[in-house]
Homo-oligomer: A and B are copies of this chain.
Amino acid sequence: MSVQPVIDHLLARHAAVLDRLYAFLRLPSVSTDPAYAQGMQDTRRFLLAWLNEIGLSDVKLLDGGGQPAVYGAWLDAPGAPTIIIYGHYDVQPPDPLALWKTPPFEPTTRDGRLYARGASDVKGSTTIAIETVAAFLAVNGRCPVNIKLFIEGEEETGSPSLHAIIERYGPLLQADAMISADGGRASPTVPTINVGARGLTKLELVVRTAEKELHSGRYGGSVRNALHELAAIIATLHDADGAIAIPALMDAVRPLSERDRHDTAALPFDEAAFVADIGGIAAGEPGYSIRERLTLRPAIDVNGMWGGYTGSGSKTVIPDEARAKITIRLAPGQDPNQAAQALQAHILAAARPGVAVSFEAIGGGSPASTLAADHPLVQAATRVLRTSSGQEPVHVRLGATVPITAIFKETLGLDTLMFGFNLPDEDVHAPNEFFHLASIPLGLQAWPMLLEELGRFPATAFCAGQSRFDRASKAT
C-alpha cells in the first residue's frame, strides 16, 4: 500500500487542516493560570471529539491529578511497531498582551506566518500528527503502525503530574518508541534529525569557615571568610577562556568524531547572532564551535550561589557558610557519577587548609542520550528527509535534556524521535508567536512517510528498554 494517496488526501485537505488548527488555536489553553480553566476544559473536549471523529478507539482523558492528558489509540496492526505520538495542548500565558500585534487567541495570517499563542509550540505540529493518523484511517482504513496518541496538558508547567499519569496508566502506554510533535527542526534549509541530548548531574557545595557568623570589625583581616573561600573554589572550575579546568572530568568525554564535526558544521548557525540575541559574552573551550560546545562537550554552571547578608542596606558580617548549586551538562561518554566525583575531588583539592567543604543533593541525573545511527527511528527519519528534501539529513544533538523524553525513557524504556515542524525563529513563549505556514504542507508530507517507514520494521527492532510496567496491553 503506497503512502502517496494518504499524502495526496492530506494536501487536498490543506484548507480543512488549517481550519482545524485555527479552531485549536482559538481555545485559550493556558495551563499555568486558573483563570483559563474553562479554556483548558474546552480544549480537552475539542480533542476528545476530534480523536473520536477520526476513528481512534479508547479515546479518554488520562488523569494524574493535574491537567489530564488526552489519549486515543489505533491498535489493529498486529506485529507492527506500536508508536506513541506525543504532543501537548497547553500553551504559555500570552502576557504581556500589549505587545501582541493581533490578539494571541485570534489566529491571524500575515506574510506566510500564522500568528497565535501555541501556533509553533505546539498546536501546529500536533495538528499535523493527528491529521496524518486521520488520513491513514480515512484513505486506507488502517495505519502502518499501531498508534497511541498522547496529548499532554501540562508541558508548559513542567509536567508536574506526568509521572502520576504514567504510574496510573503505565500498561496502556506500553509501546516500542515515541515520536514527538514537540521539538522541531533546527534549520529551515537543512534537514536535521535529533539524535541525542546532553545528560545532567548536580551537586550543592557547602563551604564553612567558622562556627558562626562573625562581626567584620572584630574579626576582619584575621580569619577566613566563607564567601572568599567559595569564590576562590568556583574560580578554579574554569580557565580564563571559560573552559572546564578539571582534567579528571574532561578525560571521560568522548572525543568528537569526524561525523560529529561534519554534522555540526553542516548546520547553518550564526555564532555572533546567537550570542548577540541574548546580550551575552561568548566564552568556552577553545577548538570547538559554539554548537559543538553546546551539544558535544560538557559544561559546568553555577546556577545559584549565596551566603551572608543579602537584604537591603549593609550588615558588617563575615559569613561562616556559603553555598553554590552546581550542575554539569554531560557530553556523550560521561558517567554522571564519575563526573560528579571528579568535580568533588577537584573542589576538595582546591579548598584552602581548614576550610570545611561538604556536598549535598548529589547526582540524581542521567547520562547523555544518543540514538544510534542504525536505530529504526533514525533510519526511518533519514529516509523520509532524504526523499522529501533531496539532501542528506544532518544529525544534530540538543544541549539540554528534554524532560518529557527523559521521563518516557526512564519509566517506559522508550526512545523518542523529535519530528515537530516548528523552527527556531518562531518566538515561542514570547509575544507574536507564529508558525511558518510553509511548514504545514512539509509536515503533511513527511509524517505519513515517517509512519510508513516505521511500519517496515518489526516491533522487536526498536529494542525498547526496560519498562516499569508489563506489556500486556501492547499491541503484538
- List residues of A whose CB falls within 8 A of some B CB: 197-198, 200, 202, 209-212, 214-225, 227-228, 230-235, 237-238, 240, 242, 274-275, 278-285, 290, 293-294, 297-311, 314-319, 322-325, 327, 329, 352-355, 361, 398-401
Contacts and interface: CB of A to CB of B under 8 A. Distances in A.
B303 A221 contact: no
Contact of A304 (B234, B278, B307, B355): B307
A307 B316 CA distance: 19
B279 A211 contact: yes
Nearest to A209: B281
A429 B215 CA distance: 13
A301 B223 CA distance: 10
22 contacts: A197-B217, A211-B278, A212-B279, A216-B329, A219-B278, A220-B294, A221-B285, A221-B329, A222-B293, A222-B294, A223-B282, A224-B281, A227-B302, A227-B305, A228-B234, A228-B237, A228-B238, A281-B354, A281-B355, A303-B316, A303-B317, A306-B310
A364 to B, nearest CB: 9
A301 B234 contact: no
Contact of A301 (B211, B225, B240, B280): B225
A227 B234 contact: yes
Contact of A210 (B279, B304, B352): B279
A305 B308 contact: yes
Given A222-B282, A224-B242, A301-B316, 6 more contacts: A223-B242, A223-B283, A231-B231, A231-B235, A304-B317, A305-B305
Nearest to A198: B217
Contacts of A278: 210-212, 214, 219, 223
A219 B303 CA distance: 12
Q: In the complex, which of the residues A221, A306, A310, A322 has the most CB atoms of chain B within 10 Å of its own CB atom?
A: A221
Closest 10 CB pairs of A and B: A217-B400, A221-B299, A211-B279, A220-B299, A231-B234, A304-B308, A281-B354, A235-B235, A304-B309, A223-B280
Q: In the complex, which of the residues A218, A242, A278, A353 has the most CB atoms of chain B within 10 Å of its own CB atom?
A: A278
A367 to B, nearest CB: 14
A209 B214 CA distance: 31
A322 to B, nearest CB: 7
Quickly give the copy total for this chain.
Answer: 2
Nearest to A216: B301
Contacts of A211: 278-280
Given A221-B284, A294-B221, A202 B314 contact: yes
A280 B217 CA distance: 15
A289 to B, nearest CB: 9
A400 B303 contact: no
A308 B325 contact: yes
A235 B238 contact: no
Contacts of A398: 217
Contact of A303 (B280, B293, B304, B309): B309
Contact of A315 (B224, B303, B311, B399): B303
Contacts of A314: 202, 303, 325, 327, 361
Nearest to A296: B221
Q: In the complex, which of the residues A197, A228, A319 has the most CB atoms of chain B within 10 Å of its own CB atom?
A: A228
A358 B289 CA distance: 31
